[in-house]
Copies of this chain bind each other. A is one copy, B any other.
Amino acid sequence: MKSVTRSLRILEAVAQHQPVTVGELTKLFGLPKSTVQRTLVTLNEAGWLRANRKDTTRWEIGARVLAVRPAALQGSSLFAAAREPMIRLRDALNETIHLSVPDALHSMVVVDRVDCDHAVRTFHAIGDTSPLHATATGHAVLAHLPKSEVDEFATGTLEGYGEETITDPKELRTELRRVRERGYAVNHNQYLQGVCAIAAPVLDGDGVPLAAVAVSLPDSRFEPGRLAELGQVVTDTAAEITARHLR
């Protein structure tokens, strides 16, 4: 359904650029003015958008969006289970900690974050997405999916983002085996340059991967000699979240 898909795209764009005008959005999407205009009015009538109070030609996200909460955040699930262990991990390492979940189409989405206090630190906003095949959290999740799902996903040539990105499905599969063996995934310059991340999966009772916790730090502070140690504490944290989540 074309109009629905487009409306959601426009909604996301408004969230990114708010408060934004019709004209700015038409340029962004290359669509006819009237089409964008109509979409904005519809979204407004549904309460998902609203006109800015000061400048009524500018649009921003309406409060109605708050009524829609992802399953991953509901009640006492993951989100609540993860908070404390994440804070402890941050305290132990003084590096930024992320919780990410896989989404419908081959992305990891940042769901929660606990910041470190270094002046130089990595930054991913809540809601940011990154490709499954090129991030530590993505690998942590992929490594625990049924082979059939990985096969379906890892086909052809995967998109590259730099020298280090694994673009060959075969190579990806051997990397995933390594991740399973040692329990954690490592990403160094595969997606964002200058960033290093170490991630471990949070699993369901049945071994289904629900999310991944990661520590993320700038190149400049990464000491290869400490990798095993970091991998261990991240894995322990993920295990603790899993345990808390199950009970």
Tell which of A60-68, A178-186, A193-201, A235-243 binds the partner. A60-68
A11: chain B residues at CB < 8 Å are: 68
> Digit string of A168-195 for contact with B (CB within 8 Å is 1, else 0)?
0000000000000000000000000000
Chain B proximity of A124: nearest CB distance (Å): 12
Instruction: Of the listed stretches A25-33, A46-54, A83-91, A152-160, name the one at the interface; the rest are far from the partner chain.
Output: A46-54
Contact B61 A71 (CB under 8 A): yes
A contact face: mostly helix, strand, loop, or mixed: mixed
Residues of B within 8 A of A45 (CB): 5, 104-105
- Measured CB to CB, the closest approach of chain B to A128, in angstroms, equals 7
Looking at the complex, which of A12-20, A212-220, A221-229 is the stretch in contact with chain B? Answer: A12-20
**Copies of this chain, count:** 2
Q: Please state if B5 and A46 are interface contacts (CB–CB under 8 Å).
A: yes
Which of A35-43, A114-122, A131-139 makes up part of the contact surface?
A35-43
- Residues from chain B with a CB closer than 8 A to the CB of A53 are 204, 208, 210
Q: What is the interface residue range for chain A against chain B? A: 35 or more
Q: How far is the CA of A72 from the CA of B68 in the complex (A)?
A: 11
Interface residue from B1, B101, B104 paired with A49 (Cβ < 8 Å): B104
A-B contact pairs, 8 of them (CB 8 A): A15-B69, A15-B70, A16-B67, A60-B70, A63-B102, A66-B73, A67-B128, A69-B127
Chain A positions near chain B (C-beta within 8 angstroms): 1, 3-5, 7-9, 11-12, 14-16, 18-19, 38-39, 42-50, 52-53, 60-75, 101-105, 107, 109-111, 125-129, 204, 208, 210
